């Protein structure tokens, strides 16, 4: 069953379904076939571009494909400006407020293509077609769009809800194993903070998911989407519960900072996997009845490459740099129980150091 996410100015559908079924979801979006824009990256275009074009052609769309270089560096003001130039050039049909934008790719394309759609002509209809597991279970839902600034990630952007999120689990078959594992880290995180039954599912099926079993991945996407949808419905503008999605992330961001934000060394999902082990240790210190060992055993099954030597003092310093803006002191998301999270502040440094030491062993 597709999910429906209501928001301040409307609602959108979230589905785990084949790309070829796009036509079944269009009537609810208010999008009519016609000229449209596809924002994608060159890798996704090469692997899946023909398939999307075929789907759009059959439905009567006339797509213009704007393909940008792959990777996080595409989330720049310069790349955004190039997209505006391409869309507004006289080469194609004139863009108007009915021109749909399809953001087709991983989290980078969802963020860049979403912000492009949010700001061209003060907002065009947006469809998110996430192609990585991380984007399918996390970043494509919830309306966050944006680009990076030299001083930090995602510092420029908008909350802009899509008209539809259609995640096709079949495209995950072309994902590199590390990207699949990274997405599974976020899916496991969703389970830990909100869904004890999904924790049990992963205890049974995580290895099959990591091996790319199509049925297991399809169920993973559908169940993890549901959790993310529930959280963003409750907290559209990130003033409350949405913070729980950051479980493990205060540690993860410090790890990414300490390793130069280089996904060749450590992907975001891998950092989250390590960060969750830290956060579980911290949770156990604050909620002694939590069966942290059981949960740590699950998280430990997520593959993480050998880490370079990391100094706890450096990581503690990196955490200070990452201090959540506007808050006094570091904030951590901890588990109170399986499937139940809370935000804590004022955690003694000694406990944080212990969490690092335990996880980095």
Catalytic residue (choose from 64, 75, 189, 253): 253
Annotation says 253 is catalytic = yes
172 close to 135: Cβ distance less than 8 angstroms: no
Q: In the bound complex, what is the minimum distance in angstroms from residue 61's beta carbon to a second copy?
A: 16
Q: In the bound complex, what is the minimum distance in angstroms from residue 319's beta carbon to a second copy?
A: 15
CA 293 to chain centre: 27
Pick between residue 21 and residue 149 the one whose CB is nearest to a second copy.
Answer: 149
Q: In the bound complex, what is the minimum distance in angstroms from residue 107's beta carbon to a second copy?
A: 15
Annotation says 148 is catalytic = no
Pick between residue 32 and residue 344 the one whose CB is nearest to a second copy.
Answer: 32
Annotation says 353 is catalytic = no
Q: Give whole-number Cα distances, 108 to 69, 146, 211, in Å.
A: 11, 9, 24
Pick between residue 48 and residue 64 the one whose CB is nearest to a second copy.
Answer: 64
Q: In the bound complex, what is the minimum distance in angstroms from residue 316's beta carbon to a second copy?
A: 19
Annotation says 228 is catalytic = yes
114's tokens = 């979403």
- Site residues, a second copy (CB under 8 A): 8-9, 77, 80-81, 84-85, 88-90, 94-98, 115, 118-123, 144-146, 149-152, 154-159, 237, 325-326
Annotation says 323 is catalytic = no
Catalytic residue (choose from 75, 244, 268, 284): 268
Query: Of 226, 261, 264, which Cα lies nearest the Cα of 154?
Result: 261
Annotation says 246 is catalytic = yes
Give me the residue label for tokens 């003001």: 77
Annotation says 122 is catalytic = yes
Task: Give 67's strand partners.
Answer: 40
Question: What Rg, from alpha-carbon coordinates, does the chain have?
Answer: 20
Alpha helices in 133-248 (DSSP H): 133-134, 177-194, 196-210, 214-234
260's tokens = 């130069």
Query: Of 82, 24, 19, 29, which Cα lies nearest the Cα of 52?
Result: 19
Annotation says 48 is catalytic = no
Pick between residue 12 and residue 202 the one whose CB is nearest to a second copy.
Answer: 12
Q: In the bound complex, what is the minimum distance in angstroms from residue 62's beta carbon to a second copy?
A: 15
Q: Give whole-number Cα distances, 15 to 221, 259, 335, in Å.
A: 9, 35, 28
Residues marked active site are found at 122, 144, 186, 228, 238, 242, 246, 249, 253, 268
């Amino acid at each position: 069953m597709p999910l429906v996410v209501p928001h301040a100015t409307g609602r959108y559908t979230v589905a785990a379904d084949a790309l070829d079924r796009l036509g079944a979801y269009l009537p609810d979006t208010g999008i009519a076939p016609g000229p449209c824009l596809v924002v994608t990256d060159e890798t996704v275009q090469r692997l899946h571009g023909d398939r999307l074009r075929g789907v759009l052609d059959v439905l009567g769309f006339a797509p213009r494909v704007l393909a940008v270089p792959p990777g996080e560096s595409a989330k720049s003001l310069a790349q955004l400006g190039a997209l505006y130039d391409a869309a507004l050039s006289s080469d194609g049909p004139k863009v108007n407020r009915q021109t749909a934008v399809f953001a087709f790719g991983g989290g980078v394309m969802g963020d860049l293509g979403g912000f492009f759609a949010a700001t061209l002509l003060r907002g065009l209809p947006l469809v998110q077609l996430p192609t990585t597991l991380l984007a399918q279970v996390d970043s494509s839902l919830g309306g966050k769009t944006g680009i990076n600034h030299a001083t930090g990630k995602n510092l420029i952007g908008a909350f802009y809800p899509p008209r539809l999120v259609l995640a096709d689990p079949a495209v995950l078959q072309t994902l590199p194993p590390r990207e699949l594992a990274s997405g599974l880290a976020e899916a496991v995180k969703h389970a830990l903070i909100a869904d004890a039954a999904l924790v049990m599912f992963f205890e049974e099926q995580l290895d099959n998911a990591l091996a790319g079993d199509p049925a297991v991945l399809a169920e993973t996407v559908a169940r993890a989407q549901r959790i993310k949808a529930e959280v963003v419905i409750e907290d559209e503008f990130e003033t409350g519960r949405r913070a729980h999605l950051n479980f493990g992330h205060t540690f993860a961001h410090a790890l990414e900072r300490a390793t130069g934000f280089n996904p060749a060394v450590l992907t975001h999902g891998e950092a989250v996997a390590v960060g969750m082990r830290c956060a579980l240790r911290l949770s156990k210190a604050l909620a002694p009845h939590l069966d942290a060992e059981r949960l740590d055993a699950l998280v430990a099954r997520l593959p993480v490459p050998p880490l370079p030597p990391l100094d706890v003092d450096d990581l503690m310093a990196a955490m200070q740099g990452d201090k959540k803006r506007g808050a006094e002191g570091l904030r951590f998301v901890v588990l109170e129980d399986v499937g139940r999270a809370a935000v804590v502040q004022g955690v003694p440094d000694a406990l944080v150091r212990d969490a690092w030491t335990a996880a980095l062993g």
